Structure 1
Amino acid sequence: MKMHQILFLLFILLSSTNALVQDFCVANLKGPDGPAGYPCKTEAKVTVDDFVFSGLAKAGNTSNIIKAAVTPAFVAQFPGVNGLGLSLARLDLAPGGVIPLHTHPGASEVLVVLHGSITAGFISSANSVYVKTVHKGDIMVFPQGLLHFQANAGGKPATAIASLSSPNPGLQITAFALFGNNLTSALVEKTTFLDDAQVKKLKAILGGTG
């Protein structure tokens, strides 16, 4: 094949590739959410407001059982992150507050402490525990899918921003998974080695039945 033919084919290939590239895919939240994310809004309907989210400016309500609040900026709240492989959340922890053991099946997490002190940690698949008290300006990372937690480590409110490597990272809180559903108490007792009274007490607190 001659050089000019090779160059012509390369030009066609590059032109075809560029035609498939999109700058962004703002989520059409009325469409189905699949493994690749939400379908895209038509570009004519996209505005600058799709790329701006102000929800993390205000502290969350910590008047609850865990004395903590998580304010998400996931794709459902912030359609502009659709397809970009990232999202954010704000964590507010009152004194004594805790984000209980939980996992994000679809994302790793980076925590940046803005105010106060937070004791945070995760458990590896080998059951090794990694715990550290982090302070203003400190950063801690939690690998994808591993159980992790954050707890206020001082007598003052603590605030942090979490960055996650997916626009829809998923969330499963261990305590609610065990005691906030309709799995029978007998099965919970068998799988957790807790006694009947303790299981029923936790189910009553967390809204479970059975």
Structure 2
Amino acid sequence: MAGNTSNKQGSAVTAVNVAHIARLNTLGISLARVDYDRYGQNPPHIHPRATEILTVVEGSLYVGFVTSNPENKLFSKALNKGDVFVFPQGLIHFQYNCGTTKAIAIAALSSKNPGVITIANAVFGSKPSILDDIVAKAF
């Protein structure tokens, strides 16, 4: 079923992992369906315990990941229906609906519990907050 994309990101991730299907325990896999509204995005995030392979089922996406320091090189590509892209474990990556219609993708991850850390939420939404001087100097 389609996820509710009426949020500030314009996307919805419906995860299927060990928390949802206990039988995935020890199998080392999980899935997610990602629905994107027009111009919606799955914002920059990482999966600390999994590599992800994403397949576009409907629409078009602009996707990418950034390598680690010191290179910080962006690898990106515009994808269409049927195209596949791999995001290496632990690297910051994103997806953006660059098409004029809604988009859908299926992500397969190499862990029963891949975890997700959304970069902006972690940096700007930590409790307690990271000191403003530290964040300002970093950005």
TM-score bracket for the superposition, by shorter chain length? over 0.9
Find the aligned partners of 1:114 and 1:142 in 2 and give their Cα distance.
17
Aligned pair 1:161/2:102, yes or no? no
Aligned pair 1:144/2:98, yes or no? no
RMSD of the TM alignment (CA)? 1.5
What is the Cα deviation at residue 192 of structure 1? 4.1
Find the aligned partners of 1:119 and 1:189 in 2 and give their Cα distance.
33
- Which TM-score applies when normalising by structure 1? 0.62
State which of 174, 177, 190 in structure 1 corresponds to 2:134: 190
SS in 1 for 2:23: helix
Counterparts of 1:60-75 in structure 2, within 5 Å, are: 60-75=3-18
SS in 2 for 1:193: helix
What is the Cα deviation at residue 80 of structure 1? 1.7
Distance of aligned partners of 1:152 and 1:80 in 2 relative to their CA distance in 1, 3 Å threshold:
same
Aligned pair 1:120/2:68, yes or no? no
Query: Aligned residue pairs: how many?
Result: 137
Which one has a bigger Cα radius of gyration? Answer: 1
What is the Cα deviation at residue 96 of structure 1? 1.3
Richer in helix (by share): 1
Richer in strand (by share): 2
Distance of aligned partners of 1:131 and 1:169 in 2 relative to their CA distance in 1, 3 Å threshold:
same
Give 1:131's aligned residue.
76
Counterparts of 1:14-29 in structure 2, within 5 Å, are: none
User: Percent of aligned positions with the same letter in both sequences?
Assistant: 47
What is the Cα deviation at residue 100 of structure 1? 0.5
SS in 1 for 2:135: helix
Find the aligned partners of 1:173 and 1:183 in 2 and give their Cα distance.
17
CA contact (8 A) 1:178 1:188 kept: no
Give 1:103's aligned residue.
46
State which of 63, 69, 79 in structure 1 corresponds to 2:22: 79
Gapped regions of structure 2 (runs ≥ 5): none
